[in-house]
Amino acid sequence: MVERRGRVGLVTLNRPSALNALNTALMNELVEAVTDMDRDPGVGAVVITGSAKAFAAGADIKEMSANTYMDMYAADWFRHWEDLTRLRIPVIAAVSGFALGGGCELAMMADFIIAGDNAKFGQPEINLGVIPGMGGSQRLTRAVGKAKAMDMVLTGRFMDAEEAERSGLVSRVVPAAEVVEEALKAAETIASKSKPAAMVAKEAVNAAFEMGLAQGVLFERRVFHSLFATEDQKEGMAAFTEKREPEFKHR
Ligand SMILES: CC(C)=CC(=O)SCCNC(=O)CCNC(=O)[C@H](O)C(C)(C)COP(=O)(O)OP(=O)(O)OC[C@H]1O[C@@H](n2cnc3c(N)ncnc32)[C@H](O)[C@@H]1OP(=O)(O)O
């Protein structure tokens, strides 16, 4: 499930026979793997991917179907999975095939999504008599706006890769066979930058979803100032002046 390519971590969901339906065991493994990478100074970015047919076809319907309200509430079902949104290093979702329900929500927990041209995104929980429960109603709405989010959440229809790119859900669409390599290349590019700068950049962009404009701009300015305490800022600006490539030390 977990591989290292230099400074990049690659995590592959490994239940292809069930289209990577997200059950507790799989999600515990995923959260543990990326949390370990997040703490590893040698990792600068992470890619999460699935199989060619499915990134993930949703939360495991069979695992939760017999649960009662109290089972769901007492376990606070999906709460632990939200840990993925608290990672400090950049995370890319490389999506091929189905990204449905919890699969779409998992992809949206990443910092950005690179989609194969066969990708299909959807929040079809309405067909099961429920609604998104891993943040879909919130993150999809922020990504694509109210009209498309309402359409998808209320009708359960799928969005193809082209529409997903046009709507702002994914950052780029590439041939399906190349999606993991493209995501790894993007992750390698990120991991080659100053790690403190990349982490702060992620925090600053995410702040746009939590703060008003004035507060967000102030937050950005303050964390921008803070980067002048890093060796990498000195190196990056010296390298520019000396017309050479920077050698970041990630501190
Ligand atoms: C986060 C919250 C609140 C909820 C959710 O995420 S609920 C789940 C939302 N997702 C869905 O409703 C999609 C369910 N899956 C499908 O509609 C189809 O599997 C498909 C359209 C994605 C693909 O259809 P296809 O005919 O190509 O493949 P299947 O034979 O249907 O699937 C193969 C294999 O995988 C099992 N599978 C698929 N999705 C799930 C799932 N979400 N949970 C559990 N198991 C799933 C499917 O049952 C089949 O396994 P078996 O052959 O053993 O039955």
Active site residue 125: yes
Q: Establish whether residue 140 lines the binding site of ligand 1, counting it when its CB lies within 6 angstroms of any ligand atom.
A: no
Active site residue 212: no
Among 13, 23, 61, the mutation site with the greatest number of ligand 1 atoms within 8 A of its Cβ is: 61
Give the per-residue pLDDT at 91.
Answer: 98
What φ, ψ does residue 146 adopt, rounded to 5°? -65, -45
Are 107 and 93 in contact, with CB atoms under 8 Å apart? yes
Identify the bridge partners of residue 48 per DSSP, sorted by sequence position. 11, 93
Give the per-residue pLDDT at 22.
Answer: 97
What does R_g of the chain's alpha carbons equal in angstroms? 19
Name residues of the chain where pLDDT drops below 50. Answer: none
Are 90 and 190 in contact, with CB atoms under 8 Å apart? yes
The pTM for the full model equals 0.97
Q: Establish whether residue 101 lines the binding site of ligand 1, counting it when its CB lies within 6 angstroms of any ligand atom.
A: yes
Indicate the residue type of 87: L
Catalytic residue among 105, 165, 182, 220: 105
Instruction: Determine which residue's CA is closest to atom 51 belonging to ligand 1.
Output: 18
Are 169 and 159 in contact, with CB atoms under 8 Å apart? yes
Give the per-residue pLDDT at 40.
Answer: 97
Q: Establish whether residue 19 lines the binding site of ligand 1, counting it when its CB lies within 6 angstroms of any ligand atom.
A: yes
Instruction: Determine which residue's CA is closest to atom 42 belonging to ligand 1.
Output: 58
Tell me how far the alpha carbon of residue 56 lies from the centroid of ligand 1, in angstroms.
9
- B/e letters for 57-68, b = 16+ CB within 10 Å, e = fewer, are bbbbbeebeeee
Give the per-residue pLDDT at 94.
Answer: 98
Give the per-residue pLDDT at 82.
Answer: 94
Give the per-residue pLDDT at 199.
Answer: 98
Strands 8-12 and 120-122: unpaired
